[in-house]
């Protein structure tokens, strides 16, 4: 979920710089075959390396709704069945890895859909966090909340400069689920995880690197994917079964904790989003988005006029 501060800053970036795009980046040009699970999740398999680039593709900000989560869960199943040699998770947006859970799934929710939505999120986490194949994240934009969660599930993270990442649930008055917390505790030092979680802190790229929340900084998306490939290639000489079982043994307590308490976790989520204060906060955000949507044509016209003015000024 997004903080109000992040929402305002982020939305200004969207409308004033017009950087968000729905284009899909085909970084690997050679030796690859493309398989599209559906329009929401794209899978490019490099036939030379065997690595799969999985691209979240729900413009403009890859907000996680039921349909996107279901598609991603299905892709993870396919990778497991096909004995994938490695997965790189990235985004088709030029400025957002994933903006987290879709606000429309949480505001005035239909409880039957909410059950499917949260169960799908649980499924994705279990499959990604406990995958038998090695994983890396090419974080090519902002990654708050659910975006940060999916990135941390991966074994290696490469991020572009000048973006932010973190679990910021407390800023909306929401407690991050224990499995969100477990993922962060598996990524950064325990004391720093506690501070980050209680403050709902978002970290800039440089700070995330110092903290260990990410492993490398890349110049651009292509460079990020290349660095992820270098990491995945390190496992080529390691017996696959030994590597997979070691990873899964290391993470099994976190996974078992959720698997043994999935219904209780769902009920806690119901309670959290049913809180009137949370619904009020979500309602303000929804109203804000609607206002921005109506203002978008005006903002684009102003941007266009500014461009003309600057062009004339340079000529003079």
Active-site positions?
A: 101, 146, 168-169
Kindly list the distances between the CA atom of residue 29 and the CA atoms of 26, 46, 47, 128, 224, in Å, as whole numbers in the listed order. Answer: 7, 9, 11, 26, 15
- Reading phi first (left if > 0) and then psi (alpha if -120 to 50, else beta), residue 203 is in beta
CA dihedral 158, 161, 167, 168 (to 10 degrees): -170
Beta-strand ranges (E) seen in the chain are: 32-38, 41-46, 52-56, 87-91, 135-139, 143-144, 157-159, 164-166, 203-204, 216-217
CA dihedral 190, 208, 46, 72 (to 10 degrees): 60
Look at the block and give the residue holding tokens 């036939």.
47
CA triple 102-103-108, angle to 5 deg: 130
List phi, psi (to 5°) of 103: -60, -30
Treating both helix axes as pointing N-terminal to C-terminal, what angle do 111-129 and 66-81 enclose, rounded to 10 degrees?
30
Task: Give the side-chain half-sphere CA count within 13 A for 36.
Answer: 6
Euclidean distance between CA atoms 285 and 151, whole angstroms: 25
Kindly list the distances between the CA atom of residue 222 and the CA atoms of 291, 292, 299, 315, in Å, as whole numbers in the listed order. Answer: 35, 32, 31, 36
């Amino acid at each position: 979920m997004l903080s109000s501060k992040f929402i305002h800053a982020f939305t200004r970036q969207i409308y004033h710089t017009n950087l968000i795009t729905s284009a899909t980046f085909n970084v690997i040009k050679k030796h690859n075959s493309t398989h599209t699970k559906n329009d929401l999740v794209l899978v490019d398999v490099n036939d030379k390396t065997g690595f799969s680039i999985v691209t979240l593709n729900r413009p403009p900000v890859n907000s996680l709704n039921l349909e996107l989560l279901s598609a991603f869960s299905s892709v993870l199943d396919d990778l497991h069945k096909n004995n994938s040699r490695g997965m790189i998770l990235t985004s088709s947006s030029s400025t957002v890895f994933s903006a987290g859970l879709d606000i429309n799934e949480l505001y005035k929710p239909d409880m039957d859909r909410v059950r499917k939505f949260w169960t799908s999120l649980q499924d994705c986490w279990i499959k990604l966090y406990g995958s038998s194949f090695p994983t890396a994240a090419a974080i090519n934009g902002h990654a708050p909340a659910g975006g940060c969660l999916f990135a941390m599930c991966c074994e290696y993270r490469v991020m572009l400069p000048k973006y932010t990442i973190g679990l910021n649930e407390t800023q909306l008055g929401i407690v991050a689920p224990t499995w969100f917390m477990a993922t962060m505790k598996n990524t950064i030092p325990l004391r720093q995880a506690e501070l980050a979680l209680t403050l709902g802190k978002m970290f800039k790229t440089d700070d995330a690197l110092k903290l260990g929340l990410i492993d490398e900084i890349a110049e651009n998306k292509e460079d990020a994917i290349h660095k992820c490939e270098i990491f995945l290639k390190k496992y080529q000489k390691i017996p696959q079964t030994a590597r997979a079982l070691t990873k899964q043994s290391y993470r099994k307590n976190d996974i078992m904790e959720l698997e043994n308490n999935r219904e209780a976790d769902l009920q806690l989520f119901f309670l959290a989003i049913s809180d009137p204060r949370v619904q009020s906060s979500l309602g303000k955000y929804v109203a804000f988005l609607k206002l921005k949507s109506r203002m978008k044509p005006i903002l684009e016209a102003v941007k266009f006029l500014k461009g003309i003015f600057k062009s004339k000024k340079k000529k003079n």
